[in-house]
Structures are given as C-alpha cells and as structure tokens.
A and B are shown apart, each in its own frame.
Chain A
Amino acid sequence: MSTEVQSAPTVSGSRRARRTTSARTSVGYLFVAPFLLMFAGLFILPLVYAAYLSLFTERLIGGKAFAGFANYSRALGDDRLIGGIIRVAQFFAFQVPIMLLLALLAALAIDSGLLRYSKVFRLGIFLPYAVPSVVATLMWGYLYGRDFGPIGQVTEAFGLGKPDLLGPNVAFGSMANVVTWEFTGYNMIIIYAALRAIPTDLYEAAAVDGANAWRIAWHIKIPAIRPALMLCLIFSVIGSFQLFAEPQLLQRLAPSVIDSAYTPNLYAYTLAFTGQEVNYAAAVSFLLGLVIVIASYAVLFVTSRGSRRA
C-alpha cells in the first residue's frame, strides 16, 4: 500500500512538475519578449542589414553591384583605417590606465572612511558622467580655445603665453583629458560598489594584525575588487576603440589635426555621409568590431594570466 501511494506521485507528479516548469518558462519568455523585440529590431536587424550592405558596392555611376569581399580586402589595405586603429589603440594604452588609476584612488579614498564629506566628493566626481558627451566636448572645445578660451586667458595672466591645446602634438592628450573627465566618475562608482561588498570581518582581522589604511587597500581591497576592475577594463577597451563624439566635435575646431580618419568610427561616418560610400563604411565598421573583439580577448588573456600566476 505504501509503495502504491509512493509510486503514483512519481508518475503523475513528474508530469505535473514538467507542466509547471514549462508554464513558468513560457511566462518567463513573455516577460523578456519586449526586450528581445527591441534587441532584435534595433540591434540584430541593423547588424544583418549592414553585413548585407558590406557585400555590395553602390557607385554614383553604375549603380549597385555584388562585390563579395572586395570591400573587406580594400579595408584591410586601407592605410587611413589602419592608422586610425593604431591611434585608438594608443589612446587606449595611454588614457585608460590613467583613468582607472584615478577612479581606483577616488573609490578607495571615499571607501576608507577617512574622507570628510565623502558623499559630496562621490557626487562631484560622478557628475561629469551625467553631462552628455556632446555638451562636454563643446564645453571643453571652448575652454581649449587658443585665442579666447579661458585656459589660455589664465595661462596668459601667469605669463605663460597661450598654449595651443588643439595643436598637432597636443590634441591627442587634450581629447584624452576630456574622456578621462567624463568617465572617471562612472568607473569610480563601479569600483566603489564592489568595495562596499567586501565582507567587513576581513577589516577586523586586518586591524588585529595592525594594518593601516594603505596596507588594507593594497592587500585586501584591490584583490577583492578584481572582477570589478576587469569589468571597467573591458568597458574601456570597447569605449576607446569606438571613440567618435569627441573627435567629431573637436574636428570643427582643429580640422588640420583631426582629419576624417582620426578614429575608425569617424572614418566610417565620413565615408557613409560625405563620400556616399555606405557599403565600404559597413565593411569598415565590421572590421572595427572584429578588432574590438580581438582586443577584448587579448586584454582578458593578459590579465587572467597574471591571476593564475598569483
């Protein structure tokens, strides 16, 4: 009798369980459906269309023709594109470590509890991220103005002359400054949130061992927030390689320094909208995407090797 009672539930019970699981799963899909639709329509579809475009050429004389991979081979041999990719790689190597270091220091300082008015600092450092990048770039473009910009006026008042902050050798650094100003706060918040999640008994143990704030930061905090740092690094890789808004807006002010192939994204934009070479622009964009994927994997690989050694 007991076995019969026990065997019955296993047969119909599992069927019931399967039915509830599938009902639950389909409700789940229903919840995700709006996002999936948007994702498909605004992300997948344009990608597919761009891939389709990149296989054709449409010329002013002769119209549309299937070109296979001709656009891609042209892009691989395009000096201006390769120069642009190298430039954003240099931008990444130069600007991102500085920005992440500043963000880390700021987050550590705010988290250490030794800083008065830490909420004010937190908000203040994050505020530039709330400013749209177009507004920020226009504002900095004005500040950088050689003849009439405020920075020039201040340095002149100190007798240092008027620096050309958008000149050939300096524009790169000036742009890095704008991007750092914009995104340090964003990275700081991510790191700060990770710091807040560290269990506090580690600090008690450290206090017992007589560690000061610096040693706590170095031995406990930084290793513990490693995943957050990785996240910031990957975002920065993608962001640096996709640099567009800052060069495009500063180009008006320094057209001889920032040409239309300064970054690959800007090159693709100019190709599409000035040169009407939409198909080639699509191929360039895909190539850039491939470069970003390779760069992300490279960064992950290098940093994970370090952790394995440790």
Chain B
Amino acid sequence: MHSDPRSMLPRRAVLTVAGVVTASLVLAACSGGSDSSDTAAAGPKTVSQAEVDKAMTTPTELTFWSWVPRIEKEVALFQAKYPAIKIKVVNAGAGQPEYTKLRTALKAGTGAPDVAQIEFQFIPTFSLTKSLVDLRPYGADAVKDKFVDWTWGQVTGRGGEVWGYPQDTGPMGMLYRKDIFDKYNIDLPTTWDEFAAASKKLHAAAPDINFTNLAPNNNGVWMGLVWQAGGRPFKNTAADAVSVSVNDEISKKVGAYWDGLVKDGSVSTDPDFTDAWFQGLARGKYAAWITAAWGPLFLTGSAKGSSGKWRAAPLPQWDASKPASGNWGGSTSAVISGTKNPIAAAKFAEFINTDPESTKLFTTDQFFFPATKALLADSSFTQQKPAFYGGQAVNEVFAKVSDTVDTTFAWPPFADQAGTDWNETVGKSFTAKGDVGAALDDWQKRVTDYATNQGFKVSQN
C-alpha cells in the first residue's frame, strides 16, 4: 500500500492545535476554582436600603426556573410592584430533571437561572457545592419570623446561612375516593392495620381496583413514610461526615408492611407521574393516594373528571395515641450563585414567598400548603372548602397534620444519588416482589460506598 499523502500536514496541525488548547485548559483548570458566591465569606454584610432601592429600579431581566403551574400569576404581582424588573419563567422540569440541568449549567458556568425552585430535601445537596447564595445580606433575618420554624430550620445551613425562602410544605396525608369507599363499604382506616385490612377487602371485592399505588421510582414517598414511623436515616454530623442507616429496624418494619400488601396484589407498583398513572387516578384505578398536601394540584390537571369525589384524611398511624406524619417535598426559592443580580433575585424570591397576596394566591390557585405562619392561622385559609374535595375543609386537615410532623428529620447532601439508588434496590424489589430486607441492606451499601467515594466520613446510627 502506498503511503497516504493526506496523513501529513493536516493531522499534525490538528494535533498541535489540540495540544495548545489542552495545555491552556490544564492551566485554567489548575488555577481556577469553583464559582463561589460573593457573599459566602464569614460574617454577612447586609446590603443597604439605598442599594436595594437602586437595584429594584434598574431595568433588569431575571430568569426563574420553576415547575409550579401558573406561577406566572404570582410573578405578575411582583412585576406590578417593581416594573423595572422583568422575570422570565422557565419550566426546566419537575424535580430531578431540573436539578440535573441546574447542576450542568453551574458546572458549565453559563445558563444557570438567577432564582430556582429547590425542594427542601435538595438544599444540602446544592449548598454543599456552593451553588446557592446566602440570603442573610439581603434581609433574610428580617423575614425569619414569618415562616414556620421547622421550614426555616430546613433552609438554614451549618453556619447559620439562609439558603432559600420556603414556599410551601408537604405534610403527608391520604387522599381517597369517597365514592369508591362508599360503593364497597370501606371504612376510613386510621391505623396501618386497618389500612391493610381495608386494602385486602377492596381488592377482593374489585380486583381491577388497587387500594393504592406504591411507586417504585419515588423515593420521596418512602422517606415520608419512614419519617412518620420515627426513622432518621440520614444525619449530617459534620461538614464532611454523614451518618447513614437506611436499613435500620424502622425502615425494615415499613418495608415489610408494604411488601405484604404488594405481594397480595392489593397495592400496585406503577411508576408515578407518568401518563398511565394519571389515567389511573382519573379513571379510579387507585382508590387512595398517599401523598402530600400539594397532591391535588396534579389531580386538577389530568384527573379533572374526578373532581368532587376526593376527600383528605391523615395518614394511618402506627400508634393511634401518638399521631405522626412525614413531609414529602415542599419547595423553596433559592438564589443561584453566579447570578449577576443578587439583590433583585433575592428580593424577588423574598417577595413571592412572603407577600400576603402572593402567598394567598399559592394556596387558592395552586393548592399549596403554606409555609408562613400568617396563612396557617388565617381562617379564610383553614376554612376553605374547595369543590374538588366535595366541600371538605381540607386545609384544616392538613394544618392539623402539619403539627404532627417531627422537625428533626435531615437530608443527605447527595439526595438524588440516594434516591436513584433506592429506585434500583428497594423500588425494584417491590416491583419484582423480592426480598425487601435484602434490598434495604443493598441500598445501605450503595449509599455508604458512594459517600465514602466522595470523601465523606460515614458512620452508622
């Protein structure tokens, strides 16, 4: 074969170019550090009122990532008050997809929003990577007392930093179809034993209705149930140390309970928030939905047809004398580090989550459960009787539930990795009707290995 004349100059040129660029990349990477926020230094210096006024009257454009439907209404209230600031609302996905995009944008150094919706359980994950702006210099301490104590605790960092303003909470309860319960003579269960009995009864009478669904891809529900049962699987013992005990006795008890119901067929294991699952809710495939106070928001969309047939109740209890519940989700508005307009962004986040009109609108339009003390005490909120619930004073139910949520539950700084691992171990074993106990041990091992790999000192409770 003759030598290839093409393989001479161009390849050498390409290699040289590549080599030069690589060298410069190496130099840049070695010298540069991660993008840290301006105000993460020790001792926050409060921004002066003059600076705030100036920022709020300078024409600015902010990007706000949120998956809350119709949040444009609350944003419009802000824009009416501060016409110089334009907010671009982007739905970058609900939950995990948005966090993935956020992390990618932060790593790339471009494309990240100014304000983003971040659920409580993901605050440690983003604060660890210095992706959030401490809100204390922007007047966070002044509004601290407006919020329910345990929500403020969830957004406060180890050094007292405030990482976000709470928007809503998700005390867990049970939404059920009253019409199905009445049709098959099911009494509302108040303990887990009654729940199991009701589940078997309904499934025997109507085999194509499942009493409820346990999604194998939603770690949030599981954590809420373990929270209710008194479990504390994660503890952030120090800045570089975590305690992980996701296969403790409480978790195994909860696992065994649900395993029994799944194995006898009365509880299905369909992935949630898919088209088929929405259809199932709309058509009465599931008689009950273990969910948080924001659940109805999703029902008003695809399951509109079942309006008026749903009722809310507290979760069944392990111990009827000590009512408890867990929390699932609930979001905050956090300012993302690298924003060019921290003052405007911080004030925007503060406004939509503290302004009386905005927070009220969240509860009436989006069925949010508020994180502000004012609304929880407001009788016009607690006495609301939405038609979707057939006129039941739903908020009162969830307000009582909210009081029973233990405030010491903590989240690890790698919540999404832990959640994905749960899907592939415990979630999978529910679907495959396998050994939940072994799956929990598997999950424990995976989380511990990951944490150790990432440099944490891991202990077990």
Find A147's partner among B279, B413, B456 (CB 8 Å cutoff): B279
Find A36's partner among B14, B216, B240 (CB 8 Å cutoff): B14
A49 within 8 A of B: yes
Contact A259 B423 (CB under 8 A): yes
Contact B453 A260 (CB under 8 A): no
Give chain A residues whose Cβ lies under 8 Å from the Cβ of B129: 60, 276
- The A/B interface has a contact count, at CB < 8 Å, of 100
Give chain A residues whose Cβ lies under 8 Å from the Cβ of B240: 61
Contact A145 B276 (CB under 8 A): yes
User: In the complex, which residue of chain B has the Cβ closest to the Cβ of A59?
Assistant: B455
Contact pattern, A 134-150, Cβ under 8 Å of B = 1, otherwise 0? 00000000100111110
Give chain B residues whose Cβ lies under 8 Å from the Cβ of A232: none
Which of B392-440 touch A at CB < 8 Å? Answer: 413-414, 416-417, 420, 423-424, 427-428, 430-432
Contact B285 A147 (CB under 8 A): yes
Give chain B residues whose Cβ lies under 8 Å from the Cβ of A294: none
Min Cβ gap A233→B in Å is 24
- Contact A60/B271 with A145-B276, A147-B276, A255-B217 known, Cβ cut-off 8 Å: no
Give chain A residues whose Cβ lies under 8 Å from the Cβ of B450: 275
Give chain A residues whose Cβ lies under 8 Å from the Cβ of B455: 59-62
CA distance A49 to B414 in the complex (A): 26
Stretch at the interface among B19-27, B139-147, B322-330, B338-346: B19-27
CA distance A259 to B443 in the complex (A): 14
Find B18's partner among A29, A32, A44 (CB 8 Å cutoff): A44
Give chain A residues whose Cβ lies under 8 Å from the Cβ of B456: 60-61
Which of A260-279 touch B at CB < 8 Å? Answer: 260, 270, 273-278
Contact B417 A275 (CB under 8 A): yes
Min Cβ gap A140→B in Å is 13
Min Cβ gap B446→A in Å is 10
CA distance A6 to B276 in the complex (A): 87
CA distance A254 to B413 in the complex (A): 27
Give chain A residues whose Cβ lies under 8 Å from the Cβ of B54: none
A45 within 8 A of B: yes
Min Cβ gap B430→A in Å is 8
Find B25's partner among A29, A49, A145 (CB 8 Å cutoff): A49
B17 within 8 A of A: yes
Give chain A residues whose Cβ lies under 8 Å from the Cβ of B280: 147-148
Give chain A residues whose Cβ lies under 8 Å from the Cβ of B431: 256-257
CA distance A60 to B413 in the complex (A): 9
Which of A60-117 touch B at CB < 8 Å? Answer: 60-62, 64
Which of A235-260 touch B at CB < 8 Å? Answer: 252-257, 259-260
CA distance A156 to B247 in the complex (A): 41
Find B453's partner among A59, A147, A253 (CB 8 Å cutoff): A59
CA distance A50 to B448 in the complex (A): 27
B100 within 8 A of A: yes
Contact B25 A256 (CB under 8 A): no
Min Cβ gap B236→A in Å is 12
Find A273's partner among B104, B428, B453 (CB 8 Å cutoff): B104
Contact pattern, B 79-112, Cβ under 8 Å of A = 1, otherwise 0? 0000000000000000010001001100100000
Give chain B residues whose Cβ lies under 8 Å from the Cβ of A168: 432
User: In the complex, which residue of chain A has the Cβ closest to the Cβ of B413?
Assistant: A60
B454 within 8 A of A: yes
Contact B276 A52 (CB under 8 A): no
Give chain A residues whose Cβ lies under 8 Å from the Cβ of B43: none
Which of B92-139 touch A at CB < 8 Å? Answer: 96, 100, 103-104, 107, 128-129
Find B271's partner among A61, A142, A252, A273 (CB 8 Å cutoff): A252
Find B276's partner among A29, A146, A260, A273 (CB 8 Å cutoff): A146
User: In the complex, which residue of chain A has the Cβ closest to the Cβ of B242?
Assistant: A61
- Contact A45/B10 with A61-B455, A253-B271, A274-B100 known, Cβ cut-off 8 Å: no
Contact A148 B276 (CB under 8 A): yes
CA distance A260 to B422 in the complex (A): 12
Give chain A residues whose Cβ lies under 8 Å from the Cβ of B48: none
B154 within 8 A of A: no
B167 within 8 A of A: no
Contact A252 B104 (CB under 8 A): no
Min Cβ gap B126→A in Å is 11
User: In the complex, which residue of chain A has the Cβ closest to the Cβ of B456?
Assistant: A61
Contact A145 B14 (CB under 8 A): no
Min Cβ gap B432→A in Å is 6
Min Cβ gap B310→A in Å is 20
CA distance A60 to B456 in the complex (A): 8
Contact B454 A61 (CB under 8 A): yes
- Contact A40/B14 with A256-B269, A260-B424 known, Cβ cut-off 8 Å: yes
Give chain A residues whose Cβ lies under 8 Å from the Cβ of B22: 48-49, 52
User: In the complex, which residue of chain A has the Cβ closest to the Cβ of B17?
Assistant: A40
Give chain B residues whose Cβ lies under 8 Å from the Cβ of A32: 10
B274 within 8 A of A: yes
Give chain A residues whose Cβ lies under 8 Å from the Cβ of B216: 255-256
Contact A252 B274 (CB under 8 A): yes
Min Cβ gap A145→B in Å is 5
CA distance A277 to B25 in the complex (A): 20
In the A-B complex, list the 10 residue pairs whose CB atoms are closest, starting with the nearest.
Answer: A61-B455, A256-B431, A255-B217, A62-B455, A59-B455, A256-B428, A60-B454, A61-B240, A259-B424, A59-B454
Other CB < 8 Å A-B pairs besides A48-B18, A256-B431, A259-B424, 13 of them? A44-B14, A49-B22, A60-B454, A148-B275, A168-B432, A252-B271, A252-B274, A255-B428, A256-B217, A256-B427, A260-B424, A276-B103, A277-B453
Q: Which A residues fall within an 8 A CB radius of B?
A: 29, 32, 36, 39-40, 44-45, 48-49, 52, 59-62, 64, 142, 145-149, 168, 252-257, 259-260, 270, 273-278
